Amino acid sequence: MFLTLILFTFSTGLMYLFYRSRKDRMTIFQKMGIPGPEPNFLFGNLLEFQKVPLYKKHQEWKQKYGTTYGYYEGPTPVLVTSDVNILEEVFVKQFNNFHARKLWPVQVDPDKDEDVHMFFARGRRWKRLRGVVNPAFSAAKIRKMTPTVNECINHLLDVMRDTANKTSHKTVELLDIFRRLTLDTILRCEVGIDQNSLKNPDDPILNHCKGVINDTVKTPWLFLLGFLFPSLHCVWITLYKFLHNIKCNSAFWLEDRMREVVSMRRTLTNEHRNDLMQQMLDAQFASDSVKDLENEASKISNPYKKFLKSMTNEEIVSHALLFLLAGYETTSTTLAYLFFELSQNPHVQQRLRLEIMAVLPRGYHTIEYDDLKQLTYLDYVIWETLRKYPLASTVTARQCMRDCTVGNMQIPMGMLVHANLWDVHYDPTHWGEDPQAFNPLRFMPEQRRKRHATAWMPFGGGPRACAGIRFALLQLKMVVSKVLRDFDFYPSDKLIVPLPLKQGATILPAEGVHLSARRRGSALSEAGLRRGSVMTGIPLADWIGMRRKSLQEEDFGCEISPLEHSDNNSRKSSLTENLLKRNDTVTIRRNSKESRRNSLLENQLTSEAKSHMRRASVIKGIELLTKDSVGRGLKLTAINFDTKNYKHNLFNLRDVYFNGQPDIDNTMGIPTMPEELLGEMPHLKSKSVLRRGSAVPDLESVNEIELIESCKPREKNFILENTMDVFDEIDVMKKSNLTAERLHKRRGSG
């Protein structure tokens, strides 16, 4: 009886202490004067997330409580804010006080467990791991990954063609295909496994990656217990491992697979690769114990320096798994969102394709790292996609590691500060009156300079921002560049608009992204112009008409007026018009290495037409008439400044300068012309420039051939491709030795 009384008294005391502690924690925000929803004593506000996802609930509460408010995940207080000044303090300026991420119920102990990776690690351990991993994502290392990414994307194009041909209305589910692509790319570039899940949808690694995403919701009761009683974290993680080992958990299967890869790579002593795995293997510590590593570091005068160079075997395995899963999910989902937006905004898709074709004509199968730097509008499109869909917003939070002051708030140790990215990324204060619209021009330099640095945080912020940003952007830019050259994308019958979203490990399209993908260039193929084929005697007028049909139906999706002909014999009459009148024939070939190896088409031009060709070969400039997207007439001057790619006497459209009003500049979205170029050619009242190799949209006629005498001799190779798309070329006669002065005299006398 006495023992029973003692046990009763002891348990009652524990319950009272638990009650008082819980009650005190549930009044933290009330004492701080911060508004928020009323918490439940046991669950806090967790029950409110049963029917509404976290990111949507944050937006609802923002409307009700303002930009900064508080709620509770069990006993843990969570401060949610969309105030960019507070976010800058937490993520950047006071990083030493907020260097830890959110502690999830079934994650490993960030301080003690052997297999912690840098996403969960904190303090000096995080610094050590980050110091090992960062060099693997340097610009030099990313450049070396470009050929491998090119090869993976070529496999993607093959699969997309096959899938589009097999399905009705050429419908493609992009999320699944992009997941397979990013998995192959990550395994080859970062881990060193030759993978081809694009051709093998039943690949075991692919299936287990999908399983990891699904496993997180198979034991919701365990996650709930972890949130309710975080002090028993060691119990929940042990129970989680036990249950999922019984069920052959996908995460543990992948971890074993990565362990095998690490062992295999360690045996390849004669092979040194430039990937993440090699970077970590080179930094491996002699012992597999983190404790041994720390003890060894304590013996030297600068232990932090030692930390930067060391990593245990278990940490190598956990990081290989981290980058596999993180890249697999995030990059593929971003690509799916991007192509969805392009299908909904055809003017953006058209303009982006023009820029891509300018820098990377369709015959160029390999994209170089330096080529991507010229795709500025593509940068804007990617950044705008990440603004509209901050898919990692659920993990963009920091834990306060010591009591501190942020603004006028006293933040206690243990409190979480969560960035409400969906509200920040849609705030009219930062993004104008139409934040729901997809407008890549928000990211033009003059717009970015006006915006707060933390108004855009898709990769997180501060020192703990995503380490793989460069690699992710490389994949995004290369995939979009190559896919958009070959396909037009339209909404399919299966596509639901607006796109329904769901919350998993990230914010995902709930029903996938089903788009109609139509392969471009079909008009040429139907006319018999196939890659590597040889055709002679095509009437130039007929061929241009065929290309204009292709431009109208395939490239720009708009009606193009016929070429206007001139019957006068003025010396300024168009070269193209002269050729059209004579019904001459012209050589046409595809701009590809494969075509270059085949026999060129024979040029059947008449002697008079050949004379025009020779005369044109030293002309420096030409004026083109076209129309903008709303039908206004424009005059463009085309000048060539790049001669290094002029092999086989090919003349291509290289630079187009726009002579027009600023409002038309904005309509066509042509980048600003460099000041030094205006200084070199002062007689041109040009405002803007289309990049090297650009196609001129909606071209109507070539009206004047104008000799520009201020050009230097190195610039004398000039374009003849004026009504052609950038991936077709005219094989002209060999360059004449006529000087500009002799040509000017000939034209003046003619």
**Beta strand ranges found along 327-415 (DSSP E):** 397-399, 404-406, 409-411
Cα(529)–Cα(152) distance, integer angstroms: 27
> What separation in angstroms does the CA of 164 have from each of 161, 350, 515?
5, 21, 10
Was 466 annotated as part of a binding site?
A: yes
The four Cα atoms 528, 361, 182, 379 give a dihedral, to 10 degrees, of -140
Q: 622 forms bridges with which residues in the sheet?
A: 638, 705
- Single-letter amino acid, residue 211: G
CB 538 within 8 A of CB 515: no
| 3-class SS string, 642-705 | CCCCCCCCECCCCEEEEECCHHHHHHHCCCECCHHHHHHCCCCCCCEEECCCCCCCCEEEEEEE
**Tokens for 705?**
């051939």
**Tokens for 247?**
């069920």
CB 380 within 8 A of CB 441: yes
Taking Cα atoms as reference points, which of 660, 683, 658 lies closest to residue 673? 658
Specify the DSSP element, H or E, that contains 337: helix 313-344
- End-to-end, the C-alpha distance of the chain in Å comes to 125
**Tokens for 61?**
């509460």
**Tokens for 701?**
């006629």
Taking Cα atoms as reference points, which of 661, 669, 606, 658 lies closest to residue 635? 658
If one counts every other C-beta atom within 10 angstroms of the C-beta of residue 683, the result is: 11
| 3-class SS string, 226-289 | HHHCHHHHHHHHHHHHHHHHHCCCHHHHHHHHHHHHHHHHHHCCCCCCCCHHHHHHHCECCCCC
Binding residues for heme: 466
Binding residues: 466
